[in-house]
Chains A and B, each alone.
Chain A
Amino acid sequence: MVEPIFDYQFRLILIGDSTVGKSSLLKYFTDGKFAELSDPTVGVDFFARLIEVKDGTRIKLQLWDTAGQERFRSITKSYYRNSVGALLVYDICNRASFEHIPVWMSEARRHIEPHRPVFALVGCKLDLVSNGGQREVSREEAKAFADQHGLFHVETSAKNGMNVEEAFKSVTQEVYNRIQTGEYKIEDGWDGIKTGFARPNGLDFNLVEAEPAKSSCC
C-alpha cells in the first residue's frame, strides 16, 4: 500500500548578510552537523527536511539557502517569489548584520508579493557569546524589533544546535496554522506550498527525518 511520506511541502528561504551563518544553520538543521569551515554559498543552495507539526501532519521543508554576498544580490532576488516563509538571519556578534534586517525584510516582502510570507528573526552564533565573545545585538533589542514587526524571534547556535529546531519549527507551525485558517491556499503557479505526493514504502531513503543532535552545553 502506498503511503504519503509528507502531506505538505513548504518552501522557506533564508536571507541575511554574508557570513552570518545561514548555511551552517541549515546544515545543522538537516544534517545535525557543524562544519568549522565552509565555502561561501554560490547563488543558492538547497536543503530539505521532514518535520511534523503539532497535529502530526508531516511537512517537507524545502530550504533555499541564498548567498549573502553582495555580488549575488541581483540573482538571489529572483528566487524569493515562491517562498511561503522567510528566515531573516543575523549574527548576534555582528551589529551591521542586524541593522540590515529591515532591508532584507522589505526586499523579501516586495518580491514575494502578492503573497504574505511568515517571517522569523533568527540570531546566529549564540555559542560565541556563551564562550565570552562580544555580543553586539542584545536579546531585548532584537525581541523588540521582532515584536514591532510581528515576527517570531529566536537566538540559535549552529555549533551546539541550540534553538535550531525551534527556529524552523515555529515558522513551519505558523505556515501550517495559516493553511488551517484558510489564509494560505495551494495555488497553481505558486510553489510556496505544495501538497505531498505518495511514495512506495521504504524507498524514501534520502529524506529520513533527521534526528536533532542533542544540545551538549549552553
Chain B
Amino acid sequence: MESSDSDNFESADEDFEFEKFEKGSNTTKHHHPVPKSDTAKAAILIPKAPPSTDVNQNKKETSESETLTPEIVNSDKSKSEGSLIKDDEGNKQYQTKAVPQLEVAAKDTVKHDVEIEACDNSRGSNVTGDAQDPDDDSENLWNEGEGWGVDDESDNTAIPNVQGKEKMEASPKTAPIEEDAWSNEGWEIWESDSKEIMIPNPAKTDNQSNLDPKWKGWSNWGVSSILSTATQSVSTLTSSVSQGLSTVASTIESSIGAPEPAELALSNRAEKKSLPAEITSSDHNNKNSMGFGLSNIGSLVSGVSKLVESTSTKVISGGLDTLETIGKKTMEVIQEGDPGLKKKRAFLNLEGEKPVLSQVLREAKEKAEQENKARQEKHFAKKVNYESIFDDHQGLVHLEALEMLSKQCDMKLQLLFESSSGDALMEIQETLAQVKELCELPNEEDEEQLSLEELKERLASAVKELDVNITYDRLISMWEETECWLNNVNLSICDENELHQQAVETLAQLTAIAVEQFHKAGELLLIKDHHSTADEADSLVQLTTTLTSLIGIAASKFSDKMNCKAVGDSNKESVNSLITNIFYEAANSSSYIQDAFQLLVPVIEMGAV
C-alpha cells in the first residue's frame, strides 16, 4: 500500500500532489479535527480545492459510518456496504478525474482489507486514465465555468472564481454571517441543499464527477495568483509566522498551479455552445460541493499537518492559527475598499497595460543614485577632506581601537555585575555611580582664550595628575606652528580656500593627536597597578575641556582671518560658507574628543572596582 502510494505521487501531476493532502487529512482527521482553521484554509486553498471536492462528498458520505464505532460499522452491514458500493462507483466514474482521493476516502470509511485492495485497483486505473485523457478535464471545466458565469452575468470571467471562494468561506459551518452578504446572489440555496449530501446517494456520484472539473477550473483562474500574492504580503504582516508555517504555506502555494489563461480561453470558446443544458446539473453539483467544501478544506489542513507532523506538532498548532489569520487577512486585504472585488477583477484583466513594478523601482533607484552622486561631488572638497585627514593621522583608527578597549571593559564590568551579589554588588554600583558623577563634563562652553602658556600648563598638570606616560608635546608643538603661521600669513597672497584648507587640516590633526593620546591613556590606565580614580577622572575631564576649548580657539582664529578676507572680497557669500564649514568641523572635532572621553569612562570604572 505504502509503496504504491509513493509511486503514484512520483508520477503525479498537480492533482496528485493535492491528493497527498487529502490522504493525510483523512488519516489525521480522526485524531485531531481542525475546525477553526477551515475558514482560514479556505482563502488560501480554494483555488486548489476543486479536484478534491468530489472526494469530500464521498468522505462526507462515509463519514457517517466513520462516526460510528468500528463494531457498529461492521454490524450495520447495509450501511457499510452501501458506502462501499458507492466508493466503487465513484472510482469508476473518476477514472478520468481526481480518482486517487476517492480511493483514500474509501480507505478511511471502511477499514477492511478488501476495500483497500479495491481502492488500489481503482487507483491504478485512475492514474492511467488521467494521463490518457487530459482534455476531458478542461472541457468540463469550461462548461462549468459558463454555468458559474450565469450566476453573475454582469461580471467578467475572473469573477466566478472569487465568488466561489468566498462562497466556500461563507459556507454554513464556518461563517454564517458572511452567508448573508452573498445570499442575494442565490447562493444560499446551495447551503440549505447541502444537507442532502449527507445522505449516501449513489446516484449523486455522477454529479460529483461533473463538479470536479469545475473546481479545477477555479484553480486555473487568476484568483490563485491574487491569493498567493496576498498570502505573501499578509504573512509579512503576521508576526507569528513560524518557519514551519512558511514551509506549509509555500507548499500550498506551489501546489496551486500556474494558470494558463490562453489555453483556457480557447477551450472556453469551443465549449461555450454546449453549455446551457448542463447549467442546471452543474448548479446542483455546486450545491453538493459547497456542502462538502468545508470538510474538504479541513482535510486539506490536516493533510498539510500530516506533512509537517514529522518535524513538529507544535509548529502545526501555531501554524494553523497563523494560517487562519492569514486566510482572514487575505480576504480582508483582497476586499479592502473593493467590495465584490470588482477592482481586482478589472486589474487582472488589464494586466498587460499596468506598469512593471521592477521597472519603476529600477528607475527610482537610478534617480536616487544620480542625486546622491551629485550631492557627493558637491560636498567632497569639504566633508571628506576633514575625515580623510583625520584618518591619515590615525585619528579614526585610534578612536576605533579605543572603542574596542571600552567594549572590553564594559563586558568585564558586566561579568563582575553578574558574578557578585548582595553588599558587594551594591558597593560596585555605588562606585560606578560615583565614577559617572566624576566624569560629567561641564556643560557650559568656556569661550576663554587660552594663551599658549596656559595651554601647556593645563595639559601638563592634567597629564601629571593622570599619572600615566602620555604626552601632548606633539599637539603643543603643532599648535605653536599653527599660531606662528596664522600670525605671519600674508593675506594678500593666501586666498580663502587655502586658509580654509589650512584650518580644516589643523583641526583634523589636533583632534587626531588628542584622540590618540586618549587611547594611549586608556591602555596605560588598564595596565596600571594602583588607581586613584578621582584623580584620573578629574584629569581626563580637564584634558577634555582643555582640548575642546583649544579646538574652539583654533576655529575662531582661522575664521577671524577669513573675515579679514571677506571684507575686501566680492564673493562674501562663499567666504561665509567656508567659515561656517570651519565651525562645523570644529564641532565635529569637539565631539570626537568628547566621544573619546566617554569611551574612557568604562576604563576608569574598571580601575575603580
Chain B, Cβ-Cβ closest to A70: B527
Given contacts A42-B520, A42-B524, contact A48 B400 (CB under 8 A): no
Within 8 A of A (CB), among B331-380: 376-377, 380
What are the interface flags for A191-204 relative to B under an 8 Å C-beta threshold, 1 for contact and 0 otherwise? 10000011110011
Q: How far is the CB of A73 from chain B (nearest CB, A)?
A: 9
Given contacts A78-B408, A200-B380, A200-B384, contact A62 B397 (CB under 8 A): yes
A203 CA / B519 CA spacing, docked (Å)? 27
Given contacts A2-B377, A48-B394, contact A203 B404 (CB under 8 A): no
Q: Is the CB of A75 within 8 A of B397?
A: no
Q: How far is the CB of A40 from chain B (nearest CB, A)?
A: 11
Given contacts A75-B527, A78-B404, contact A203 B388 (CB under 8 A): yes
What are the interface flags for A202-218 relative to B under an 8 Å C-beta threshold, 1 for contact and 0 otherwise? 01111100000000000
Dominant secondary structure of chain A at its interface with chain B: mixed
Q: B435 an interface residue at 8 Å Cβ cutoff?
A: no
Q: Is the CB of A79 within 8 A of B404?
A: yes
A197: chain B residues at CB < 8 Å are 384
**Interface size range on A against B:** 20 to 34
Within 8 A of A (CB), among B399-424: 400-401, 404-405, 407-408
Q: A22 an interface residue at 8 Å Cβ cutoff?
A: no
A48 CA / B389 CA spacing, docked (Å)? 13
Q: How far is the CB of A121 from chain B (nearest CB, A)?
A: 25
A74 CA / B394 CA spacing, docked (Å)? 22
Q: Is the CB of A75 within 8 A of B384?
A: no
Within 8 A of B (CB), among A70-91: 71-72, 74-75, 78-79, 81
Q: How far is the CB of A143 from chain B (nearest CB, A)?
A: 33
Q: B526 an interface residue at 8 Å Cβ cutoff?
A: yes
A46: chain B residues at CB < 8 Å are 394, 397-398, 401
Given contacts A71-B527, A78-B408, contact A44 B388 (CB under 8 A): no
Q: Is the CB of B523 within 8 A of A207?
A: no
A205 CA / B405 CA spacing, docked (Å)? 30
Residue tally, chain B, CB below 8 Å to A: 26
Q: How far is the CB of B132 from chain A (nearest CB, A)?
A: 50
- Most chain-B Cβ atoms within 10 A of its Cβ — which of A43, A199, A204? A43
Dominant secondary structure of chain B at its interface with chain A: helix
Chain B, Cβ-Cβ closest to A42: B520
B523: chain A residues at CB < 8 Å are 42-44, 72, 75
Q: B385 an interface residue at 8 Å Cβ cutoff?
A: yes
B398: chain A residues at CB < 8 Å are 46
Chain A, Cβ-Cβ closest to B505: A205
Q: How far is the CB of B478 from chain A (nearest CB, A)?
A: 14
Q: B393 an interface residue at 8 Å Cβ cutoff?
A: yes
Q: Is the CB of B388 within 8 A of A204?
A: yes
Chain B, Cβ-Cβ closest to A47: B394
A11 CA / B523 CA spacing, docked (Å)? 20
A81: chain B residues at CB < 8 Å are 404
Chain A, Cβ-Cβ closest to B528: A71
Chain B, Cβ-Cβ closest to A197: B384
Q: Is the CB of B384 within 8 A of A42?
A: no
B393: chain A residues at CB < 8 Å are 206
A43: chain B residues at CB < 8 Å are 401, 519-520, 523-524
Q: How far is the CB of B165 from chain A (nearest CB, A)?
A: 44
A200 CA / B405 CA spacing, docked (Å)? 33
Q: Is the CB of B380 within 8 A of A2?
A: yes
Q: B262 an interface residue at 8 Å Cβ cutoff?
A: no
A74: chain B residues at CB < 8 Å are 526-527
A42 CA / B385 CA spacing, docked (Å)? 29
Q: B121 an interface residue at 8 Å Cβ cutoff?
A: no
Q: B469 an interface residue at 8 Å Cβ cutoff?
A: yes
Q: Is the CB of A44 within 8 A of B377?
A: no
A191 CA / B399 CA spacing, docked (Å)? 14
B381 in complex: contacting residue of A42, A62, A78, A200, CB < 8 Å: A200
B401: chain A residues at CB < 8 Å are 43-44, 46, 64, 79
Q: B117 an interface residue at 8 Å Cβ cutoff?
A: no
What are the interface flags for A46-57 relative to B under an 8 Å C-beta threshold, 1 for contact and 0 otherwise? 101000000000
Q: Is the CB of A42 within 8 A of B405?
A: no
A206 in complex: contacting residue of B392, B397, B408, CB < 8 Å: B392
Chain A, Cβ-Cβ closest to B395: A46
Q: How far is the CB of A164 from chain B (nearest CB, A)?
A: 20
Q: Is the CB of A207 within 8 A of B392?
A: yes
* Besides the known contacts A2-B380, A71-B527, A203-B385, 18 further A-B residue pairs in the complex with CB atoms under 8 A apart: A2-B377, A42-B469, A42-B520, A43-B523, A46-B397, A74-B526, A78-B404, A78-B407, A78-B408, A79-B401, A199-B380, A199-B384, A200-B380, A200-B385, A204-B388, A205-B392, A206-B392, A207-B392
| 15 CB-based A-B contacts, threshold 8 Å | A2-B380, A43-B401, A43-B519, A43-B524, A46-B398, A46-B401, A75-B405, A75-B523, A75-B526, A75-B527, A198-B384, A200-B380, A203-B388, A204-B388, A206-B389
